[in-house]
Each structure stands twice: as C-alpha cells, then as structure tokens.
Amino acid sequence: MIRLHNMCSLLLIAMATMLMASVHAAEVMILPSGQTVFVTLYRDNILRLKVQPTAGDFYRVTDVVVADKEAADKLKVSCATATSCLVEAAKASMTVTGHDLDSDTAHLIVEYRTGGVVSTISKVPVAPQFKDAPELTTTFPTAKKLFGLPQHAMDLALKEDVTYQLYNLDVFHYKLDDPGGIYGSIPFLMAHSSQHTTGVLFLNSAEMNVRILKSQEEANGAPGAHWKAEVGIVDVFFLGGANPSQVHEMHAYITGKAYLPPMFSLGYHQCRWNYRSTDDCLDVDAGFDQHNIPYDVLWLDIEHTDGKKYFTWDLHNFPEPTKLINSIAAKGRKMVTIKDPHIKRENGYHVHDEATSKGFYVKTESGSDYEGHCWPGTSSWIDFHNKDARDWYATLFKHDRYGGSTPDLYTWIDMNEPSVFNSHQVTMDRNAVHRSASGKQVKHRYLHNMYGYLHTMAAFQGHLLSSAGAAAVKRPFILTRSFFSGSQRYSAMWTGDNMAKWDHLEKSLPMLLSLSLANYPFVGADCGGFFFNPEAELMVRWIQAGIFYPFFRAHAHLETKRREPWLFGEDSTSRIRAAIAIRYSMLPYLYTTFFQTHALGTTVIRPLFYEFPAEENLFSEQNTYMFGPSLLVSPIVREGEAFHMVRFPSGAFWYDWFTGKKMESGTDTNIAVTMDTIPIYTRGGSIIPTKQRLRRSSAAMVHDPLTLYVSLDERGNSYGELYTDDEDTYNFESGAFLHRALSFSAGRLTCRAAPTAYTPKDRTKTFQSDVYVERVVIFGLSKEPRRIAATSANVGGNAADGVATATELTWSKVHDAIVVRQPKTQIAADWDIVIEF
C-alpha cells in the first residue's frame, strides 16, 4: 500500500511539475495530508520552501510583496522517493524529507546548506490538523545570536525563552522590553556566528508568534525559533551567507530594495499634534530662521482637517492652504499633512460618498460596510487589498482633487495597523472581509499585518499620479506607522508613540537597528518623545542622538508643552543648533549611503557586528553602532553621564571626528563628556564628503562646496564615494547623476568615476554639477607634508580644455589633522591632490 502510494505520488509530481513550469517552480512532493511542497530558487544562496493544501482558499502574500521574479532554471531536484528530495543550486542545497506521513504527527525535516555548512534545520508539521495554523521550528547549528523580528521595544539580540508576537497593533503607552506586537511586523530572523550568517523569512501576514528556544532544548545546543501563524500557508525563504551584509542583500532581493528618498526628507522635520493655524505655522517657520537652525519639513496633524475628514482643510484656521505651503516652499522647505485610512461616514464628504458608491470599504461577513470608531467618530476603512480601491485612492492625491495641495505637500499615514478604537485589541475584526478587484473574498485575519503596507502602496501611487505630466516625476515622501515586508520600497517609518523618558531614548537605538537588519533602512523615532514633557537635558541628548537616525523628526502630543528647539534656554538652543548643523553637514555622505542602499540592498545604520562579523564581543552591542559604512557613533542616552563608554572594534583604525585623535582599537573606552559632547569617530580607510556651510534648508546647500574627511587605514589608504543628482526626481533612472570615487594611496588623493552596481533604465539624461572641493581634512598622516599640489584638467576653472594644470595648495595642522585649503577641484572632473613629504 505504501509502495502504491509512492508510485501515485511520483506520477502526481511529474504532472504537477509540468503544470508549474510556467511559473518557474519545481514541485517536490504531494503529501497524503493533501498538501503540496514546492521549492524555488531565488539566486544562488536563496531557496524557498512553500507548503500549502492542494485545494483551498489561501491568501498569497507574495503576490504583492515579493519584488523580483524567481529564476528556477538553475534548480536541480532529485527525488529518491516520494518523501525525500534533494534540491541543489550552484551555491546552496536543501534536503527535504517526509516523516510519519500517514500519522497525525506527520512532518518534514528540511536541511538548508550553504558554503558547505548546514546552517538551518527546520521541522515543518504537515499533518492535516496543522493546515489552518502553519508552523515550523528552525534551528541554527552554527549560530551564536539571533536578531530581527521587528517591531518590538526590546534589545537587539533576541532573548531565549521569549515569544515575540508579530501582530500590528495601536498600543497606547507601549511598554519597553515587552515582546507583544506594536505597530509593524517583519517576519525575518537573522542567525549569526563569526563564520556564518543565515536568514529566515516566513512570509505570512497573519498574526504570528515566534518563540526563541533555549539552546539546551536542542540536542546540539544550537539556538532556534518556533514559528506559528494563525492562518495561511508555510512560505519560507532560506538565505545563507558568509556575513550579515550578504544575507541582508539577499533579503532585499526578495522583498525589494529601499527606494531612494528625496534629499529634503533626510533633513530635520518639525512636527506636533497640532500646529493650530496658518499664523502658527508661519511663526514656527520664522523661528527657525530667527535662531539660525536649519530644517526642511513642517508637519500638520489631524486638527488641520475639516472635522478630521482627510484630504480637506479647516478653512477657518487654514483659510488659504496653498499660500501657506508656497510661503514655506519659498525658503526651499516642504510641508506634510496626515491622511489616515479610516474615513468619516458623513454624507456629502466626497471620499466617503465615492468609497460607498464604488464598494471600496472593507465589509462585514454579512456584506455591509465594516464600521468602527476612530478619530472622526463613526468610520469605515478603505479596502486597500482591492487594487481597484488602491487605484481610486491614488486619484485623491491629484491637486485638482485635493484642494489646497501643491507639489510641495507630502504625506503622513498613521493609525493604519489599522486602529479601531471600539474593537477587540483596538484593531479590525479578524472576520472582516476584503475583496480583490476580481471579487474574490479573503478574511482580514489573513492579511492583517499587510494592511498598512497596502495603504502605503496606494499613497505612493497617489504621489506619482499627482506628479504625472510635470517636466519630471518627483520622488514621493511618505511616513507610515504600520508596515510589513516590502514597505521599505515606498516609505519611511517611525517607532510610534514613545515617551519623553530616558529609557525610551535608549531603547530607540536597538529598535531602529533591528528594523535596519530586517531591510527597513529609512527609520526613526520621535525626538523628545511623543508623550509627556522632556526636560532640557533629555531634549538636547535626544536631538544629539536623532541626528544619527536615518529619519530625523521631532514630534509631540497635543497635551504637551510647546517644544520648538529654541524653547529650552539659550545654552540648549545652541547645543541643538550645533547638533542639527552636524546632521546637515553630513547630508552628502548620508545621501550617498541611501543611494548605495537603493542600488545594492544594503542599509544605513548598522550594528557593529554587521561591519565586523568575526568579533564576538560585538554581537550584542546596541548603543554604539555604524552610521553608514564609515562613521561610528555612540549617542549619549543616559541622564547625567560624566563618562561615556564607547566600544571600538579591533578591525579598523578610529579617529575622533572633531580632532583627528586616533583612538585605541579593540577597546571599551570611557570618554569624559559634557552636554556639548557628541561621540563621532571616522573609520580608518574611509573618505566622507560633507558640506560645512550652515544654511536654512537642504535646498539652500545644493551649490555649496565640499569638505572631504580622509581617514587613513594601517596602510595609509582610504576610499569613499559621492553620489549626487537633482535630489528630487526620477531623472537619475535615466542617467542624470554623478557617482564619483574618492581614493587616497601613496600620498595621492584622486577623484574618478565610481564603479557602480547601479544601472539606469536608460541614459537619455545627463547631470551637471558646479560643486567643488574647498577643504580636505586628513587624519592619520605619519608626518607633516613638505608640499601639496592639485593636478586637474579643471582646477578653479582656469585650465584650458583637456590640459592638466598644477596648483600649489596651502595647508595647516589643526589638532591631529592636516587641513588642505581651497583646492577648488570640481567634483565632476578627474583630479589628483598630491602630498610630498
């Protein structure tokens, strides 16, 4: 009987394999429980295991999340029996074996091997009783620490014997060190050792609970995790690499690389619930100029609307919104308004009327519109699962539909977990019904964690639509609170309603690092804390930390005291100004890092083990981290510190950013600190482009000259890149950008075209830049120069076309640095600066 079953299964395999050829998947086995098992190759080291019933209605997350199509042409599947298969790719393999398939405890054992090492062993129950609650257990024989599973206000390294809930919820006054779900979820885990890194992505958008196993629970003492989703299918991606950055790039290949944000969005954002009127907004804007503090974006929360009806304005307090936006934009700044997913049920409100007539609201099981309470009162929720609804929602952003909007107005979407005040767990009923454009129904429980992601997709599409017909399509800027795998393709996110407390400041660092490891690079936390009132010391320290958040915004609750940067006393204002000035000076470096993230699938902020994967003492470090590949930062996040511990990896030289003093590598160093101290260190072997002139906004910096920070490694070498474009549109996709490589070796600093992994869609456009280098700061020279000269085909604009000229340069020693002044070498040109000793 078993022999007959095996023969039938083999026949079914052959038939199903032919049927699945068009979607590039290989069917491995059909199980007696009525489930099928698929394995797919997604690049050499990425293999996917999918287990689902042969028949049934199961929501497929991958239809809208997976960014790239699978390529199974290199996949080799050999099945010794109907219950045992070996799947081989060029650099990875997976053995899938069925056990006890005729019993109630039937399961698969999956061994994933990469780099000659079995890095992941998974047990997947496939008995009939598990088909509605998919689960698996993964163990990692080579790993020392596990990371990921955001979002939780917890430490960076995952804790043993703790169950992390992935269920997007609006949690009022969320607790620290609590593994319960909050606003967003990414079901991705990274297992790391000094020799190997493995990633597991369980792509299921239902509620999921992941218990981190005690090491002693496994026979070999390996760390592990037990995953269990409420409903759906097992759809798991295994990623293996030599280090975290390789696994990170593989993850980005699956769910998408982050979009390249416009430059203004990397500046400082000023927000509160709520700026009350046009005059209030203009006064805040003028305050930044009066106190000489740069900022880029002013935000409006829900009170700017007419009765909390989104895409409207309170015309009593904001009688001419277009004039307000244009007044702010005249200084190179932008505005943001909030647009939540709940829609007020009020006849005559155009959004509600259209959503009702088109049937675009989420439904109840009986077919009526789902209703609940949120900020406007009785509300319904747009069914963003329906592509037709997303397409319609996108039209609301068009300037002829959204009265008072302009191209300088951007979007904040909040409460999109979705938050429902009068419902269990303050969220949508799990039995609420979504409909696809074709009319197919799916219950909310299947896609709950994706709701905010789908909202973000629609808003992103809306911004593109509002920009259509312009000379160049502008890149959107959207901030979301709720998110899922793939949200990084469309928006920034922030960690929600934190508190003005020191422990919330400190915990923001591992929260953001965990998100970054899970392929969400454009992340931030509300500086100053959303709830309660920060004292001056906390506000200053939070801004000093916030300059190293990829997304940098201050925000506050309606009932808090006003806290614009100049309201904490003259000394605090000076310190806040100095910190924000550092952020703006680093925008060329930060923008270049975001471009690399977009092009390569890397990230912006990185735990130390990401850059130094072999140093086991760094695996749990979360207060000192990398800001891009070249800066080590250690924000002061504890009250009243007189001494601050900075952890310096042994794998590099480190220099104090302000003095060039060389620090001792491989040490935990206590440094004396004052309220003016911001611990920043450059990595030996790096070159960092900056702009040092203090301006009112990033737009005012476009033509400013550069200062290059050159930090030498143990061989006296260094390397860095500068990427620049128009900072605002998609013209870079048609070749309108400059990507320059800066290199120092044997006393020679050179600028050339950078080797790039980014390939434009076409090269129909070009980009011109008049930016030049006005200063070079060099850390780590073993002796003082005798002579420094610049050689270029265009030095100071004085050379004849194509004729190299040499200009002798002045320099001086400042602290432990050599500062070369006014080389005036154009960044778009090839040039050399030569140091003679």
**Which residue do the tokens 């919330």 mark?**
504
Torsion of CA 231, 233, 237, 238, to 10 degrees: 90
DSSP state of 500: S
Residue 194 domain-assigned (yes or no): yes
pLDDT tens, residue by residue, 643-677 = 999 999 999 999 999 999 999 999 999 999 999 99
- Please say whether the beta carbons of 632 and 624 come within 8 A: yes
pLDDT at 1: 28
Which residue, 237, 255, 273, sits at the end of a domain? 255
Q: Distance of alpha carbon 814 from its chain centroid, rounded? A: 37
Residues 174 and 74 in one domain: yes
| Domain, as residue range, for 159 | 2-255
pLDDT at 73: 57
- Please say whether the beta carbons of 379 and 372 come within 8 A: yes
pLDDT at 800: 42
pLDDT at 26: 52
**Token couple for 737:** 């950008």
Residue 375 domain-assigned (yes or no): yes
The set of residues, in sequence order, having a beta carbon less than 8 Å from that of 236 and lying 6+ positions away, is: 48, 49, 50, 122, 136, 200, 201, 202, 203
Which residue, 230, 255, 280, sits at the end of a domain? 255
pLDDT tens, residue by residue, 752-770 = 999 988 999 999 999 999 9
Bridge-based pairing of strands 738-745 and 718-724 is antiparallel
- Please say whether the beta carbons of 572 and 536 come within 8 A: yes
The Cα–Cα gap between 28 and 141 comes to 25
**Which residue do the tokens 């830049």 mark?**
769
- Number of domains into which the chain is organized: 3
- Please say whether the beta carbons of 54 and 34 come within 8 A: yes
**Which residue do the tokens 């053995």 mark?**
95
Where does residue 135 rank: exposed (0-12), middle (13-18), buried (19+ CB within 10 A)? middle
Residue 641 domain-assigned (yes or no): no
Residue ranges for the chain with pLDDT beneath 50: 1-25, 795-802
Residues 113 and 241 in one domain: yes
Cis, peptide link before residue 376, omega less than 30° from 0: no
Mark residue 221 as left, alpha or beta (left: phi above 0; alpha: psi -120 to 50; beta: remaining).
Answer: left
DSSP 3-state of 731? helix
pLDDT at 81: 74
Q: Return the ∠ at Cα 483 (arms to 382 and 259), rounded to 5°.
A: 105
CA nearest to 485, candidates 517, 458, 456, 520: 520
The Cα–Cα gap between 505 and 495 comes to 11
Q: Return the ∠ at Cα 519 (arms to 626 and 22), rounded to 5°.
A: 150
CA nearest to 279, candidates 338, 323, 310: 323
Residues 12 and 145 in one domain: yes
Which residue, 197, 230, 255, sits at the end of a domain? 255
Mark residue 666 as left, alpha or beta (left: phi above 0; alpha: psi -120 to 50; beta: remaining).
Answer: left
Residues 98 and 246 in one domain: yes
Residue 633 domain-assigned (yes or no): no
Residue 597 domain-assigned (yes or no): no
Which residues does the annotation mark as catalytic? Answer: 414, 417, 497
pLDDT at 25: 43
Residues 100 and 207 in one domain: yes
Residues 29 and 163 in one domain: yes
DSSP 3-state of 735? coil
The CATH number of whichever domain residue 741 belongs to comes to 2.60.40.1180
pLDDT at 805: 73
Exposure string of 282-294, with b = 16+ CB inside 10 Å and e = fewer, is eebbebbeeeebb
Residues 343 and 251 in one domain: no
- What own/partner pairs with CB < 8 Å and gap ≥ 24 does 663-671 have? 669/645, 670/643, 670/644, 670/645, 670/646, 671/643, 671/644, 671/645, 671/646
Q: What are the residues facing 791 on neighbouring strands?
A: 806, 832
Residue 500 domain-assigned (yes or no): no
- Please say whether the beta carbons of 754 and 637 come within 8 A: no
Residues 524, 527, 530, 531: is their CA dihedral positive or negative? positive
Residues 20 and 157 in one domain: yes
CA nearest to 170, candidates 366, 523, 451, 571: 451
- Please say whether the beta carbons of 477 and 524 come within 8 A: no
The Cα–Cα gap between 621 and 609 comes to 8
pTM above 0.85, yes or no: yes
Q: Return the ∠ at Cα 364 (arms to 65 and 485), rounded to 5°.
A: 15
**Which phi and psi (to 5°) does residue 338 adopt?**
-90, 145
Beta strands of 313-371 (E only): which ranges?
Answer: 334-338, 342-344
Residues 240 and 361 in one domain: no
The CATH number of whichever domain residue 407 belongs to comes to 3.20.20.80
pLDDT at 23: 35
Residues 224 and 345 in one domain: no
Give the CB-side neighbour count of residue 142, counting CA atoms within 13 A: 23
Residues 249 and 344 in one domain: no
Exposure string of 814-836, with b = 16+ CB inside 10 Å and e = fewer, is eeebbbbebbbbbbbbbbbbbbe
Residue 292 domain-assigned (yes or no): no
- Please say whether the beta carbons of 675 and 742 come within 8 A: no
The CATH number of whichever domain residue 163 belongs to comes to 2.60.40.1760
pLDDT at 283: 98
Residue 277 domain-assigned (yes or no): no
Residues 207 and 80 in one domain: yes
DSSP state of 304: G
Q: Write a three-state SS string for 49-74.
A: EEEEECCCCCCCCHHHHCCCCCCHHH
